[in-house]
Amino acid sequence: MPVAADAAEGGLYRFVDAAYQKRSVAITSNLHPSAFDELMPKTLATATVDRLHRAHARAAIVMVIQDLHITIATAETGEILRELTLDTSRTYQHLETTKPEPSH
C-alpha cells in the first residue's frame, strides 16, 4: 500500500520505493536508519527502512572506499563479499536508450 507524503518529506521514500526490487540502491548518511524519523514522519521512515532492508535480504554491509579501491563486507562478520577497483577510463553512468516505437 502506498504511503502518502508531501514532496519534501517523501522524496527519499519515493526514491527507494521506485527502486524497490527493481535495481540496487546505495545510500550514505551520518544517521543510522533507526533515526530516519528525524528526517520524515515515522510511518515514512519505517516504510523506507523496510524497503531498504528487504531489498538486501536484511544483510547489512559495509563499503570501504580508498582511492579507486572498494571493499564490500558483511557488517556482522566482516567477511569480504567483493573487492573492486574503479576504472577511470570507463563511465559507470547508466545511459538512457530510447526504445523503438512498435509498428502497428
Domain boundaries, the chain: 1-55, 60-86
Residue 9 to residue 65: CA distance in whole angstroms: 30
Look at residue 97 in the predicted model and tell me its pLDDT.
Answer: 65
State the average pLDDT over residues 85-101: 73
pLDDT by residue (tens digit) across 32-79?
777 888 888 888 888 887 777 665 455 677 788 888 888 888 777 888
- DSSP H helices in the chain: 7-19, 42-55
State the average pLDDT over residues 12-28: 76
